[in-house]
Amino acid sequence: MKKYFTNLNFSLGFALSFVVIAMAVISFAWTPYKPNAMNARHRLEAPSISHPLGTDQYGRDTLSRVMVGAVNSIVVGLVTVAIGLSLGVLLGLISAYYGRWADESIMRFSDLLFGFPAILTAILITSILGPSAINAMLAIGIFYIPVFARLTRAVSMTLWEREFVAAARASGASEWAITIRHILPNILSPLIIQGTIQFAVAILAEAGLSYLGLGAQPPHASWGRMLNEAQTFMDISPWMAIFPGVAIALAVLGFNLLGDGLRDTLDPKMVKVR
Amino acid sequence: MPEHTLLEVTDLVKHFPVGGGLLSKPTSWVKAVDGVSFHVAKGESFGLVGESGCGKTTLGRLVMRLLDPTAGTVKLDGKDITHLSRSALRPLRQQMQIIFQDPFSSLDPRMKVEAIVTEPLRAYDRIPRGQRREKAVALLEKVGLRAGDMDKYPHEFSGGQRQRIGIARSLCVRPKLIVADEPVSALDVSIQAQVINLLDDLRVEFGLSYVFISHDLSVVEYMCDRIAVMYLGGIVETAPADVFSVNSRHPYTRALLAAVPLPDPQGQVPPAPLDGDVPSPIDPPAGCAFHTRCPYVHERCRIERPVLAKTGERHWVACWLNAGAGFSV
């Protein structure tokens, strides 16, 4: 564990991510105010003792909404990465193992998904399925499938050529047993690293979709949505935009650094092991 | 044949496709193994030597059924295993195991030694964890490692120790035949000797037969009862080890032997060294595959391929010189 924290990227990323996750966890038990409670007397206020991050145009407490927004962002990160991982790893394994037409069709399908501008297609998907938090997650998650499929394919293809796989075959292990026992444990670290980075990307993507009104619907708090609402009042109350913006930036930065740090610390070991 | 034959390989062929894609046919074929026959008796150590690329590793993997042959048959203990399905092959896999060349690639970096060594057991029956550990301890001690090494990962060991782990794994199911694919060529010379002696001791103790693949003649001469020399996917000469160095007949074997540095200052005069490279196995020469480099090449060698002919007790040579007026260097 010590070697992780000697890495600056990891330590910084861990600290930032920890703050975001802590905010989300605390928000379940306590927020300074009810996140959706309006208060007409305290609209568009600057930060003060009673409202540390100010209030919005309905007098809702920004700190409370940022905290609840953290939950939203984390759920989006988890769900999209879960969609991408489960289907991507499955397709990647199939692609690497069967090769030939299975590989060709899966990889061309991946190219197809990669070929579209992600945000445009996400807009397309959400406008077909209707704007909602769940559809936004689906749209982002679908784009993660080829990311994980390609990674899984690339890493497991080289693994299937290794001699320990031949040794397992010579011992009579079934292909399924080899996949579970040898292939999956060996692709775990790159998948964890990629998953952390995609988590950060998902937070940004969801903020983008929510900003466009295609993600979380009002009055549900989401950082992107908060930015969108704030933009009307930029002249009067810039605070409304600054804090959700800072939250997005720090969360994305945090999970990215965490991923980079994991890569720095996990990869050299893997090189040494090989 | 008086001795009991454990492994019998007949006219084994393996061609690998070159080029070609999803819809297009391969443009050509690499003839990695091209009609090889040999047998290994119970308890015998059979050496396969040849330059890199001559097909010896492919041959080893064909014997193990890690690759499917293009043609020919492999019989293990009298049973034809050439066309057995993967599941039908499974029970027979206990009788044959393989040791690999690269001790780094042949052990899963994410597995502990105990799991690696006992992996062959897992394919057959459910063995309680306690018994597996006992077995692993016994195996590790047999190959000169300690019981305390069981919970370590492969990267904590040296190359020689890793190779010992690989050997322990191959012994786990008490096989009759072990295909050792260059088991020492990745190791330091001093470690090589240790591992070779270990393999030799284990042969006696477990009554093993080896197919010992190597490019190192001195190792093979020391380890093996009988030696076969491969060139471009075919066996050119088989001879008992004691005959091999003094009375080998094939010009290629002589050239290989001449290339071994002898510690004897009164050693024989080496024959003419070989020129050129091994021809491509995609388009091997017609007739005798060796004719492009042979110092004694005849007209006949370019046209007709010589087959293995008996020249002495358990001594077979595929060379027209030998079949005709006799061979002298």
pLDDT beyond 80 at A233: yes
How many CB atoms lie under 10 A from the CB of residue B96?
26
Which range, of B94-103, B167-176, B286-295, averages the lowest pLDDT?
A: B286-295
Residue A101, domain extent: 2-273
Q: What is the pLDDT of residues A5-57, one digit of tens each?
A: 888 889 999 999 999 999 999 999 988 888 888 888 888 888 888 888 888 88
Task: Report CB contact under 8 Å: A171, B120.
Answer: yes
Q: How many domains does chain A have?
A: 1
> What end-to-end distance do the CA atoms of chain B give, in Å?
32
Residue A180 DSSP code: I
Task: Report CB contact under 8 Å: A164, B108.
Answer: yes
**pLDDT for residue B268:** 64
pLDDT band at A271 (very low <50, low <70, confident <90, very high): very low
**pLDDT for residue B243:** 86
* Among candidates B22, B94, B106 on the partner chain, residue whose Cβ is nearest the Cβ of A167: B106
**pLDDT for residue A21:** 94
Q: How many CA within 13 A on the CB side of residue A183?
A: 29
Query: E strands, chain B, where?
Result: 5-18, 28-41, 45-49, 71-76, 79-80, 96-99, 177-181, 209-214, 226-231, 234-240, 309-312, 315-317
Where is mean pLDDT largest: A149-163, B15-29, B43-57, B255-269?
A149-163
How many CB atoms lie under 10 A from the CB of residue A82?
14
pLDDT beyond 50 at B1: no
How many CB atoms lie under 10 A from the CB of residue B102?
18
Mean pLDDT of B272-297: 81
Q: What is the CATH number of the domain that holds A153?
A: 1.10.3720.10
Residue A61 DSSP code: B
Percent of chain B scoring above 70 in pLDDT = 92
For residue A87, what are the contacts with CB-CB under 8 A and spacing of at least 6? A145, A148, A149
**pLDDT for residue B272:** 55
Q: How far apart are CA B149 and CA B133, in angstroms?
A: 12
Question: Which chain A residue shows the shortest CA-CA distance from B64?
Answer: A170
**pLDDT for residue B327:** 46
Of the candidates A249, A128, A266, which has an alpha carbon nearest to the alpha carbon of residue B109? A266
**pLDDT for residue B22:** 67
Question: Which chain B residue shows the shortest CA-CA distance from A182?
Answer: B108
Contact A177, A55 (CB under 8 A): no
Task: Report CB contact under 8 Å: A171, B111.
Answer: no
C-alpha distances (whole Å) from A130 to each of A133, A135, A207, A217, B258 are 10, 7, 17, 11, 81
**pLDDT for residue B326:** 47
Q: What's the mean per-residue pLDDT of chain A?
A: 89
Of the candidates A76, A89, A84, which has an alpha carbon nearest to the alpha carbon of residue A252? A76
Q: How far apart are CA B212 and CA B33, in angstroms?
A: 17
Please indicate if any CB of chain A lies within 8 Å of the CB of B103. Answer: no
Q: How far is A99 from chain B (nearest CA, A)?
A: 10
Chain A residue numbers touching B104 (CB-CB < 8 A): 274
Q: What is the dihedral of CA B46, B49, B55, B61, to 10 degrees?
A: 30
